[in-house]
């Protein structure tokens, strides 16, 4: 029985394929890392906002954005709470970015007396429509 030796003519094929696919894999890896960092930053900022809101609900007047958080942490508690939550996350927040204003701070501005007048207009309209229905159809 004779054995024939077949010479392998595709010696570098796997190396070329790897060289073509490697940049794509590295792009996917870098994108995954970047999105992970973005998600971690978003969670850190959301948690810091929750902690600041919690402290503001407890001590609403204890915020001075012109001064940093003191070492003892006995004053400026809202700023200290936010900065403590962001400590170690790699995210820094300027004290001027923190504000006590809430969704309800400007409630009703620009509406004038509409919220006060609207119920009375609605009751008047219901009374008028009710009277017209009791009078019967107009001929």
What is the tens place of the pLDDT at every residue in 117-132? 888 999 999 988 887 7
What is the tens place of the pLDDT at every residue in 95-104? 887 776 665 5
**What does pLDDT average to over the chain?**
82
Classified as helix, coil or strand, 24 is helix
Torsion (CA) 58, 63, 67, 70 in degrees, nearest 10? -10
State the residue for tokens 């600041």. 52
User: Strand (E) positions, 30-130?
Assistant: none
Domain residue ranges in the chain: 13-110
Classified as helix, coil or strand, 77 is helix
Burial class (CB in 10 A: 0-12, 13-18, 19+), 39: exposed
User: Which H helix or E strand runs over 16?
Assistant: helix 13-58
Q: What is the pLDDT of residue 39?
A: 93
Q: Which residues of the chain have pLDDT under 70?
A: 1, 4-10, 100-110, 112, 136-139
């Amino acid at each position: 029985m004779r054995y024939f030796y077949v010479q392998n003519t595709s010696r570098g094929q796997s190396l070329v394929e790897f060289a073509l696919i490697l940049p794509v894999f590295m792009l996917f890896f870098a994108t995954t890392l970047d999105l992970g960092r973005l998600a971690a930053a978003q969670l850190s900022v959301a948690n810091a906002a929750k902690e600041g809101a919690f402290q503001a609900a407890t001590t609403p007047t204890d915020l001075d954005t012109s001064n940093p958080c003191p070492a003892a942490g006995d004053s400026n508690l809202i700023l200290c709470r936010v900065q403590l939550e962001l400590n170690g996350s790699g995210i820094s927040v300027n004290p001027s970015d923190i504000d006590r204003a809430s969704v309800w701070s400007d409630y009703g501005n620009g509406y004038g007396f509409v919220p006060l007048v609207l119920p009375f207009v609605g009751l008047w309209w219901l009374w008028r429509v009710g009277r017209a229905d009791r009078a019967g159809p107009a001929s």
